[in-house]
Amino acid sequence: MRIELSSDIHQAVDFRDSAGKQHLKRKNRRGGFSVIEVVVASSLLIIAMVPILKALTSAHASSALIERTTRSLILAQAKLDEIRARSVYDYDATFAEDDVSLGDPYLCNVQDSSVGSNLREIAVSVGHDLDGNAVLAAGEIKVTLTTLIARRW
């Protein structure tokens, strides 16, 4: 059996019968995809896209969390540096503060406790005010930095 394809959308089939006589038969064959092939290909594409979209969503959420934590760390370090600078000239002042805004929507709490007559412990907690109530709750704290400050003279 020999198959020849013509230039149009018809398919020509050349074959010989048992007596050896040659016959030519034409079949109508259209090009393209069937509906079932399109549905199967679309289904496979959708199934492959679901895990990719889940991974992208998870990566975006992780990125936002890392960004808030990094920003909180930078703000806590700046607040701690400010307290250290103030303590040089005014060691006896209290540095304790609650729910101080460090730029929308970051808040700061500062605890000040005496460790000895010439030594103080300062803890700075910074977080992202998630519920927008201007109060830094325990679940909103991202970073807490603690240091000791000594009397200089």
| Spans of all domains in the chain | 1-31, 33-150
Report field, pTM of the whole predicted structure over 0.95: no
> Count of residues for the chain?
153
Rounded mean pLDDT of 11-40? 70
List the single range of 24-28, 46-50, 78-82, 132-136 with lowest mean pLDDT. Answer: 24-28
Write the pLDDT tens digit of every residue in 53-75. Answer: 999 999 999 999 999 999 999 99
